[in-house]
Amino acid sequence: MCPTGILEMGNELNMRIAYTPQVKEGKAKYCTACKRCEYGCPDWCIYILNESDNESTAKKAEV
């Protein structure tokens, strides 16, 4: 479902004994944040976050 083809099957099993998707190495910069993977995941386990949101969260965690 990813229009850029940057997702692949990961090697780790989740608690439902299912393999989870992961971003191919070095390909994260090609993500357009279209959220197709987020809306299409049947287990709602994918979340697209803005990098600046991650940075502010990390800063809060450091305080």
Sole binder of ligand SF4 in the list 10, 13, 35, 56 (CB under 6 A): 35
Largest CA distance in the chain: 39
Return the number of the residue (11 or 59) whose C-beta is nearest ligand SF4.
11
Given the complex with ligand SF4, which of 45 and 48 has the nearer CB atom?
48
Return d(Cα 6, Cα 30) in angstroms, integer.
7
Residue 7 binds ligand SF4 (CB under 6 A): yes
45 binds ligand SF4 (CB under 6 A): no
Closest CA to 12 of 20, 24, 4: 20
